[in-house]
Structure 1
Amino acid sequence: MSAENKEVVRRFNIEVIQNGNEAIFHALIAPDFVNHSAPAGMPNGPESMWNTFQNILRPALSNLRVAIHDQIAEEDKVTTRKTISGVHTGTLLGIPATGREIAISVIDIVRVQNGKYAEHWGLNTLSNVLAALSKT
């Protein structure tokens, strides 16, 4: 099962985050999905996850890419260390385009149930990236 769960997470990262495929997003996310990393007071269901990629990252980053560096699976959880990168060509959380290449380091834990994302926890360096961009 670990290999299958790792493939679900890999597919989500490449086809949903990198490529923006909404049909695959809906195929790989459980209707009762919970994003435990959503900001306090913000929605934490499936659409909050889609919003992050489609309405925040994708418009701000051209040539958006996801590089998976490590994946570790145990029971129903998959931990992934990855980098989301692209060129900052649109406004990113209020910061106008700089034309700079940016890289956001991410460590995610995803609980996979029946081949779908059921829960997500994660840490990332987006705040560091935003701080660096605002200094230019």
Structure 2
Amino acid sequence: MANPNPKEIVRRFNAEVIEAGSAQSFADLMAPDFVNHSAPPGSPNGPESMWNTFENLLRPAISELRVKIEDQIAEGDMVTTRKSVTGILTGRLLGAGPTNAPIAIDVIDIVRVRDGRYAEHWGMNNLAAVVAAIRGNNA
């Protein structure tokens, strides 16, 4: 059986895990030895670091959470995705909110896919700037 297309794996992760919150899809799509190179220093950097971001940070704060993939480039087992995470800020996000207003977080992820699963992740986002703007608007 051929390995699944790495871009499809990343699209599936974004739809099923980030948007829908599927624990089963998360388990299916994460390699047990996964490494999140973007985890904060001193924090766990295994699969739990990714699950924590979605289930304990974003999903409780943002209702109607959606991921829009703007661009996706793949070379071999590496997939780079530029996307936006949007929704309504109905909860607290890093101490900011709720505003009940739309929120958008811009993200660039690089994922190494191995055997149809996430093996490594690197990422950049503008979450800190978004939260600072919310705090500034509510001062």
Which of the five TM-score ranges fits, normalised by the shorter chain?
over 0.9
Q: Which amino acid in the other structure matches residue 66 of structure 1?
A: V
Tell me the SS of whatever aligns to 1:90. coil
Matches within 5 A, 1:31-110: 31-110=32-111
TM-score in terms of structure 2 length: 0.94
Determine if contact 1:59/1:90 at 8 Å carries over to the other structure.
yes
1:3 CA drift (Å): 7.3
Paired AA for residue 36 in structure 1: H
Q: How far did 1:2 drift? A: 9.5
Looking at structure 2, the residues matched to 66 and 2 of structure 1 have their Cα atoms a distance apart, in angstroms, of 25
Contact (CA 8 Å) 2:96, 2:135: kept in 1 or not?
Answer: yes
CA spacing shift, 1:98–1:57, aligned 2, 3 Å = same
Aligned length: 136
Name structure 2 gaps, 5 residues minimum.
none
Provide the alpha-carbon RMSD of the alignment: 1.3
Offset at residue 94 of structure 1 (A): 1.4
Unpaired runs of at least 5, structure 1: none
> TM-score normalised to the size of structure 1?
0.97
Aligned partner of 1:18 in structure 2 is: 19
| Identity fraction in percent | 62
TM-aligned CA deviation for residue 114 of structure 1 = 0.2
How far apart are the structure 1 equivalents of 2:112 and 2:3?
11
Cα distance in 2 for partners of 1:62, 1:115 equals 29
Distance 1:26 1:33 in 2: 11
